[in-house]
Amino acid sequence: MNDNLQILNTKVMFDLIGDDKALIRKFKIEFLQQAKKSIKEISAAYSENAFEQIKKETHFLKTSAKAIGAEVTADYLQQLEDKSLLEDKEQCKQLIILLNHSVKQVYGEIKNES
Amino acid sequence: MKAKKLPIGSRYPKVVLLMEREEDTSGAADILAAHIEEYRTIKKNNETIEFLLKTEPSVILFALGNVEKNVEYYKDLVEKHSFKHLHYSVILCNNKESSLAFRSCIKGLFDNYFVFQPLYEKLRLLMIVQNGLTKTQSTSQLKAVNDELFEKINDDLSQLIDEGSRCKQDILYSFTSRREELVQLNQIDSSIISTAQSDLTSTEQIMSTLTEEHITPLLAHLEDDIRAGLDKMLAQLVSKRAEFKADLQTNIAPPEEKGEEEVNAEAMEMKPKGLITHVPSIKKRPLPEDGDELPPISRIEKNTNTNTFDVKDICILIVEDNKLYRDMISEVLTKENYKIEEAEDGLCALQKIKDKKYDLILMDLYMPNLDGLNATKKIRKLSGGQDIPVIALTSNKNKEIVKKWANYGLKGYIIKPSTKNEITDMVKTVLEKSKEEENV
* Mean pLDDT computed over B32-39: 86
User: Can you say whether the dihedral through the CA atoms of B44, B46, B47, B50 is positive or negative?
Assistant: positive
* Mean pLDDT computed over B385-406: 82
pTM above 0.90, yes or no: no
Residues of chain A in contact with residue B293, where contact means CB-CB under 8 angstroms, are none
Query: What is the distance between the alpha carbons of residues B366 and B363, in angstroms, rounded to a whole number?
Result: 9
Q: Give A52's Cβ-side CA count (13 Å radius).
A: 3
pLDDT at B2: 43
Q: Is the pLDDT of residue A34 over 90?
A: yes
Is residue B280 within 8 Å of residue B297, measured between CB atoms? yes
How does pLDDT run across B255-289, given as a tens digit for each residue?
444 333 443 333 333 333 333 444 444 343 343 34
* Mean pLDDT computed over B89-112: 90
Closest CA to B425 of B278, B303, B283: B303
Kindly determine whether residue A85 and residue B395, on different chains, have CB atoms separated by under 8 Å.
no
* Residue B420 C-alpha, separation from nearest chain A C-alpha, in angstroms: 4
Query: Contacts for B205-212 with beta carbons within 8 Å, 24 or more apart?
Result: B210/B185
Kindly determine whether residue B328 and residue A17, on different chains, have CB atoms separated by under 8 Å.
yes
Q: Which of A17-31, A100-114, B129-143, B258-272 has the lowest mean pLDDT?
A: B258-272
Is B172 or A23 the better-scoring residue by pLDDT? A23
Q: Which of A99-108, B39-48, B95-104, B181-190 has the lowest mean pLDDT?
A: B181-190
Query: Does B437 lie at the interface with A, CB-CB under 8 angstroms?
Result: no
* Residue A40 C-alpha, separation from nearest chain B C-alpha, in angstroms: 17
Query: Does B112 lie at the interface with A, CB-CB under 8 angstroms?
Result: no
Query: What is the distance between the alpha carbons of residues B246 and B250, in angstroms, rounded to a whole number?
Result: 6
* Mean pLDDT computed over B348-355: 91
Kindly determine whether residue A16 and residue B321, on different chains, have CB atoms separated by under 8 Å.
no
Closest CA to B222 of B183, B182, B163, B184: B182
Alpha helices in chain A (DSSP H): 10-17, 21-47, 51-68, 71-85, 89-113
Is residue B413 within 8 Å of residue B291, measured between CB atoms? no
Which of B102, B107, B420 shows the shortest C-beta gap to A15?
B420
Which string of b and e fits B24-33 if b means at least 16 CB within 10 Å? bbeebbebbb
Which of A15, A66, A91 shows the shortest C-beta gap to B416?
A66
The DSSP result for A80-112, as a single string, is HHHHHHTT-HHHHHHHHHHHHHHHHHHHHHHHH
- With CA atoms as reference, the chain A residue closest to B330 would be A17
User: Quick one: pLDDT band at residue A2, thresholds 50, 70, 90?
Assistant: low
Kindly determine whether residue B416 and residue A60, on different chains, have CB atoms separated by under 8 Å.
no
Q: What angle do CA A103, A105, A106 make, to 5 degrees?
A: 65
Residues of chain A in contact with residue B260, where contact means CB-CB under 8 angstroms, are 85
* Mean pLDDT computed over B49-72: 89
Contacts of B220 (CB under 8 A, 6+ apart): none
Residues of chain A in contact with residue B323, where contact means CB-CB under 8 angstroms, are 30, 34
Query: Does B258 lie at the interface with A, CB-CB under 8 angstroms?
Result: yes
Q: Give A1's Cβ-side CA count (13 Å radius).
A: 23
Alpha helices in B299-419 (DSSP H): 323-334, 346-355, 372-381, 399-405
CB pairs under 8 A between A and B: 72
Residues of chain A in contact with residue B322, where contact means CB-CB under 8 angstroms, are 60, 63-64
Residues of chain A in contact with residue B420, where contact means CB-CB under 8 angstroms, are 15-18
Residues of chain B in contact with residue A66, where contact means CB-CB under 8 angstroms, are 395, 416-417
pLDDT at B358: 92
* Residue A67 C-alpha, separation from nearest chain B C-alpha, in angstroms: 5
Residues of chain A in contact with residue B327, where contact means CB-CB under 8 angstroms, are 27, 30
